[in-house]
Amino acid sequence: MTRAFVFPGQGAQFVGMGRDLATQHAAARELFDIADAALGWSISDVCFGGPEELLTATENTQPALVATSLAVLAALAGGVDNIVRFSCQHAVAVAGHSLGEYSALAAAGSLSPSDAISLVRRRGELMAAARSGGMAAVIGLDDATIDTICAQVSTPDAAVVVANYNSPGQTVISGAVRAIELASNALKEAGAKRVLPLRVSAAFHSPLMRDAAQALNTHMELYTIRTPQIPVISNITARPLLDVDAIRTELPAQVNSAVRWVSTIEYLRASGVDHFVEIGAGNVLAGLIKRIAPDATVTSIGDVASLAQFA
């Protein structure tokens, strides 16, 4: 099989994630120790024991998920120092959903695990500080219709856009609260099965995150980014990020741009990938991928049992 590694984003977290791996695999424990040192406090305690309200705070969720994904990958690879070599040997490309892209960049050698966790913590802080707008999941309607309706109801002062093209029939919109209300009514009239408001603090992946994106761009100057040793597929373009300049442009822009997950999986499938390995907490991506590419094999690895089965 031709394999790609994929890494989950916000929404996959749960209290207890990574705990059994850290207990039984020294490499996973080492990665969590690196995460704790990078942040100056114990994100591993939050992953392993919560409480849930602390874990689900955006500024904590983001580094927690990256730390967990990289801990799983370190356990698979047999050591933190083996992460990049293992990824290059066992996958032809990597991709991550939203903040999962930071895990993918670490797997590809573009970011060190410590820098990936530290940088995504700052990303989470900036996104959490943006308190305007909201998001809603649209179920059972095609993307073209959703795009059209969002454009129709948007105004210069109150816009709504697609934030996540997750899978056929599952799309997330984001923007000003009033614009989401107008879009929700129009989407239901157009045939959407459901439009569900999401419990989020702001309009992620929308123009309302522009200030956060600009601040992240400035903060990124503190970090070393390297050329990826394995293709990393962009959330924005669904094409490989080929060099350092492309990555430096991608990461801030990603904060206020749509996550094109459907196009990402379609690109990888067209490139010959027939086995997607989800590395990290939960199996959210597995469900999405099965709807996008039902003929592909999907494996989720996030705990001791699933790791042993894969190995």
- Distance, in Å, from the CA atom of 189 to the CA atom of 2, rounded to the nearest integer, reads 42
Q: What is the pLDDT of residue 311?
A: 74
For residues 251 and 124, is the Cβ–Cβ distance under 8 A? no
Beta-strand runs (E) in the chain: 3-7, 93-96, 134-139, 160-167, 170-175, 194-197, 232-233, 240-241, 275-279, 297-301
Domains present along the chain, CATH in parentheses = 3-129+209-310 (3.40.366.10), 134-200 (3.30.70.250)
> What order do you get walking across the sheet with 297-301 strand by strand?
240-241, 232-233, 93-96, 3-7, 275-279, 297-301
Q: How many CB atoms lie within 10 A of CB 66?
A: 35
Residue 19: which residues within 8 A CB-CB, separation 6 or more? 47, 48, 49
Q: What is the pLDDT of residue 200?
A: 85
Residue 51: which residues within 8 A CB-CB, separation 6 or more? 15
Q: What is the pLDDT of residue 199?
A: 85
215-224: long-range contacts (C-beta < 8 A, 24 or more apart)?
Answer: 215/126, 216/122, 216/123, 216/126, 216/251, 216/252, 216/255, 217/248, 217/252, 219/119, 219/122, 219/126, 220/119, 220/248, 220/251, 220/252, 223/111, 223/115, 223/118, 223/119, 224/112, 224/115
- Return phi, psi of residue 195, to 5°: -130, 110
Cα dihedral across residues 267, 68, 111, 31: positive or negative: negative
Q: What is the pLDDT of residue 201?
A: 82
Catalytic residue among 110, 205, 234, 300: 205
Q: What is the pLDDT of residue 279?
A: 98
Residues of the chain with pLDDT under 50: none
Is there a catalytic annotation at residue 205?
yes
Catalytic residue among 44, 69, 87, 98: 98
Give one DSSP letter per residue of 80-109, joined into a string.
GGGHHHHHHHH-SEEEESTTHHHHHHHHTT
Both tokens of residue 112? Answer: 């060190």
Q: What is the pLDDT of residue 131?
A: 82
